[in-house]
Amino acid sequence: MYYEVHGKGPALLVLHGGMCSIPVWPEAIEFFSREYQVIAPEQMGHGRTADDPSRPMDYHAMAEDTVELLRQLKIGRTYVLGHSDGGIIGLDLAINHPDLVIRLAAAGANFSPPPPPKPGSREIKADDIPRFIREPYERLSPDGAAHWPILFARVNQMWKTQPNFSSAQLGGIVSPTLVIAGDHDFVSPEYTVEMWRAIPGAQLWIAANSTHGLPKLRAALFNMTVDSFFKEAAPRHP
């Protein structure tokens, strides 16, 4: 599992989106490594971590891979920032390893598979993924550029069937959580609000005039907002 560590300070796990890699989202690493020890892994099949076709693509397996990485790095507690698939992995960590997650910021994440495509709509293909995502893969992957459509098919199957977090699982999250989406995200604000309501005490940020690419396209606003959330004092109970 390829990973990078940048900076010094409290541990912060930065989790990339599906089909992405570290070079796709450098803004967060540059910003947060000024005050945090940023741990940035690349999940199986992504970036410089080889794919293993004998293993299914599975959010929970990715989360457990990440837990093992943190264990080997001797990191017992960490802040977690995840975008898209990385946000889903962050939710899995908060559900299954509550003692590990100090605070979670999940952007553009979903808790259930998307609805089936509308009749007549075209299904997304491997070539539809933007070049700024594909180029680092083709340049860095140990599997070679020719593996891109194979990886896409595996990830796309995961997207169609996962995640499947129950209301009880979301309701059991105890780590302070910030749920984030753009108001023009393909993860709709209504869906995001439903997830926010399911997580006890969670905070919600629907960013105006923003798409699924909020963390990169509006990086300064995104990073400062997440940093403020991470630095909030724990709430006092009467």
- What is the CATH number assigned to the segment(s) 3-231? 3.40.50.1820
In this prediction, residues 111-134 reach a mean pLDDT of: 86
Per-residue model confidence as pLDDT tens digits over 132-156 = 999 999 999 999 999 999 999 999 9
Helices (H), the chain: 26-32, 59-72, 85-96, 131-140, 148-161, 167-171, 189-198, 214-217, 219-231
pLDDT of residue 122: 82
- Cis before 238 (ω within 30): no
Per-residue model confidence as pLDDT tens digits over 88-106 = 999 999 999 999 999 999 9
Say what percent of the chain tops pLDDT 90.
93
pLDDT score of 116 more than 80: no
In this prediction, residues 4-14 reach a mean pLDDT of: 98
